Amino acid sequence: MKALKIPEATITRLSIYSRFLKRLDKKGITTVSSGDIAEGVGVSPAQVRKDLAYFGEFGTRGVGYNVKDLIRYTVKILGLSEPWNLVMVGAGNLGSALVTYREFKDRGFTIVGVFDNDLTKIGKRIADLEVMPLEDLPAVVQENNVRIGIIAVPAKAAQDIADIMVDAGLEAILNFAPISLNVPSNVEVRNVDLSVKLEILTFNLALRDK
């Protein structure tokens, strides 16, 4: 991989390309062009070629890309060659939905522990996982070599949960709470605020109406 800073938007598109390629592979398609990928995911062929060029030379001019090879390259680039264990705090409706979200397992992510501080939820099962008390989180992290945590709790509790995760040694957090977290600089955080995504849609629709 070239020693340059890769735009986050490129990584996002690479993930989308990878999933699209897996769908092609399931259909038995063996070769694909940048134009095919572009049409399938809604970007330009030039954008596809530019994104892939960050990571090396792929494909053959005039022929295209071997689908299986490009899947293997994108999976390796995205760090998905080995499975990833996750822990999640929050056993409410969102947490339950995330535990049963099939795409996680399909992409190599396994939630190995679900935690909550609500006594009415502790001991109950979500799919094949039993909800555990928060004090068990550090042990589960250590026993399962977990590096990523998911926060699916109300905003008022999210910072406390983030602190617990950092203290347990987690290196990255996917945060579904609508609040910015304060964490050490060596901890990666990605916020998923669904209301913000909706507001982008309403902004764009409002522009059309002007």
Q: Which pTM was predicted?
A: 0.87
Average pLDDT, the chain: 92
Which run of H or E residues covers position 204?
Answer: helix 194-208
Question: Lowest mean pLDDT: which of 32-36, 102-106, 185-189?
Answer: 102-106
Q: Which two tokens stand for residue 176?
A: 């579904």
- The pLDDT assigned to 209 comes to 82
Q: What pLDDT sits at residue 1?
A: 44
pLDDT in tens, 73-124: 999 999 998 999 999 999 999 999 999 998 898 899 999 999 999 999 999 9
Q: What is the pLDDT of residue 59?
A: 64
Structure tokens belonging to residue 149: 């945590």
Mean pLDDT of 38-62: 87
Q: What one-character-per-residue DSSP string does 20-54 give?
A: HHHHHHHTT--EE-HHHHHHHHTS-HHHHHHHHHT
Binding site residue list: 90-95
Binding site for NAD(+): what residues are annotated? 90-95
The structure tokens listed for 164 are: 């617990």
Give the residue extent of every domain in the chain. 8-78, 84-195
- CATH number for the region 8-78 comes to 1.10.10.10
Task: Please name which of 19, 9, 6, 13 lies closest in space to residue 108, comparing C-alpha atoms.
Answer: 19
Confidence tier at 3 by pLDDT (50, 70, 90): very low
Q: What is the pLDDT of residue 23?
A: 95
How distant, in Å, are the alpha carbons of 55, 144, 146, 195 from that of 85? 26, 7, 5, 28
CATH topology of domain 84-195: Rossmann fold (3.40.50)
